[in-house]
Structure 1
Amino acid sequence: MAEPAQKKQLVLITGATGGIGKATALAFAKTGLYNVALHYHSASTETRSQLADEIKAASPTDTAIETTFFQADLGSFDEVRRLHEQVTKQSGDVDILFNNAGSTLAHSGIKSLSDVPIDVFEQSWRVNTGSGILLTQLCLPHMERTGWGRVIFCSSVAGLTGGVVGPHYASSKSAIHGFVHWLAGNVAKKGIAVNAIAPALIEETAMLPGGNAELAARIPVGRLGKPDEIADTVMWMVRNGYVTNKVIAVDGGMYPH
């Protein structure tokens, strides 16, 4: 008698229909080892259906990947709690959390601090930082019980250098780094790795404050990054349990760290 198939680990990706989220979902699907729970805010039915089809096509032919979509506004902590409740009820406990969703809140290319109202700072933190922290709080108990887990944040090179979007965005991303450093040290002996990726100017995303040619000229390698290059970094962090407490810049050489 054949042994029963081992249960696949569950990956929760926030902002999964954007460039980086989509590339990462496909990277997990290609392995055939994971089920994917995909968060979106306002993506259309057509966009979600297309992504589901791409995941199915990318998966090994002999492997069934469970793909589920969950809507939530990450600017609301109540919605974050609802998202976690729905994911665990429908798909199971989260083993790998990729806090990828982020927003500039339609404020970009800021030239003066006075151009950003203080409530935009507060909302930026809620969307870019607080929602990921809350989701981590909610997912962590399962990881601690099983003695294995991965928490990865999508930060930004703006959190290291200030960036080109604005002070609200840079400060919300840099706040992630302190949280990663604290939590990684707290759970390292429990088999849980906590890291952040700090991309710079990735094509096919909504974070680009200008034209591609203009922005590419700012990067030492002379081009924008690709979503697949961020997804590759996520997969490396998932596979390698000896990598924790790191903020890895994937930025074409912008930040020498």
Structure 2
Amino acid sequence: MSAHTLDLNGRVALVTGGSRGIGRAISLGLAASGASVAVNYRQRENEAANVVAEIERIGNRAIAVRADVSIGDDVTAMIDDIEQRLGHIDILVNNAGTATMIDIDDLTEADFDHTLAVNLKSAFLCTHAVLPGMRARRWGRIVNLSSAAARGPGLVGIHYNASKAGLEGLTRGYAARLARDGITVNAVAPGPIDTEMAGPLKASNVAQRLPVGRLGEASEVADVVMMIIGNAFITGQTIPVNGGASFI
């Protein structure tokens, strides 16, 4: 099934960090295909509410759910809340992340631990929480938002590189073990995308060095996520969306 004909009516999706940027675009894309969407946020309550309102305007169901997805108890409570209000989760998009630029000489143990918890541990916690239901129904789609930094030097720092490389390893490990259960697990690795977090990218004029000559749009990343969700034969893959910054 192509993304153009994707029918997610009756499916429930959770998008972590879904209140803005790429997460917002993915939430709206899922809703446009008929899914009920849980929009997770940690601090951006008003922005999450705006995404929910946009989804409701097109006639679909959505809720905003606050949780720090790097904390196990928060994740457990969030999943219980979603299942009570929307139903069992069929689609999980692990999009929540942090990207604080820190040079190697200034990087602390606390910085490293925080980045790994938000970018990597959160994906494990959320995946672990939704797997029993997906396995019972023998259908599930999990998409992890990686980064070009997982396989390149990146601009943010080694803590960010490590977290995203780990996320791709997590993706492959789960994919190999869940394929026979009807569950696909993939990653999407955006390059420079024009979001709120793109300030340092713009300052470095990275767009001029890309073959396409511009930053990507959040909707272009969402399009690839939707394609993966609609394809039952793609699993264990990392799909770059980077304007030709690298060819892998």
Q: Give yes or no for TM over 0.5.
A: yes
User: What RMSD in Å do the two structures reach over aligned CA positions?
Assistant: 1.7
The aligned counterpart of 2:27 is 25
- SS class of match (2:216): coil
Contact 1:158 / 1:173 at 8 angstroms: preserved in 2? yes
Instruction: Find the counterpart in structure 2 of residue 51 from structure 1.
Output: 51
1:170 aligns with 2:161: yes
Matches within 5 A, 1:35-74: 35-45=36-46, 47-57=47-57, 59=58, 64-74=59-69
**Structure 1 residues 256 and 36, CA gap change in structure 2 (3 angstroms):** same
Aligned position for 1:182: 173
- Residue identity matched to 1:20: I
In structure 2, runs of 5+ residues without a counterpart are 1-7
Query: How far is the alpha carbon of 1:212 from its aligned partner?
Result: 5.9
Which residue type is aligned with residue 52 of structure 1? V
Structure 2 CA distance, aligned partners of 1:175 and 1:250?
18
Gaps of 5+ in 1: 1-5
Equivalences for residues 199-238 of structure 1 within 5 A? 199-211=190-202, 214-238=205-229
Identity of aligned residues (%): 34
Name the SS for the 2:244 alignment partner.
coil
3-state SS of paired residue (2:96): coil
- Within-5 A mapping of 1:115-130: 115-130=106-121
CA contact (8 A) 2:92 2:141 kept: yes
**Shift in Å at residue 221 of structure 1?**
1.1
Residue 50 of structure 1: CA displacement? 2.5
**Aligned equivalent of 2:77, options 73, 82, 105:** 82
Cα deviation, residue 225, structure 1: 0.6
- The 3 A distance-change label for structure 1 pair 172 and 208 is farther
Secondary structure at the aligned position of 2:18 is classed as coil
Matches within 5 A, 1:140-151: 140-151=131-142
| Contact in 2 for aligned 1:201/1:208 (Cα 8 Å) | no
Q: What residue is the counterpart of 1:3 in the other structure?
A: none
Check 1:74–1:95 CA distance in 2 against 1; reply closer, same or farther (3 A cut): same
Aligned pair count? Answer: 241
**2:51 alignment partner AA:** L
SS class of match (2:127): helix
Q: What's the counterpart of residue 248 of structure 1?
A: 239
In 1: Cα distance, 2:199 partner to 2:122 partner = 22
Shift of 1:7: 6.6
Q: TM-score, normalised by structure 1?
A: 0.88
Q: Are 2:192 and 2:201, in contact at CA under 8 Å, matched by a contact in 1?
A: no
TM-score, normalisation: structure 2: 0.91
Larger radius of gyration: 1
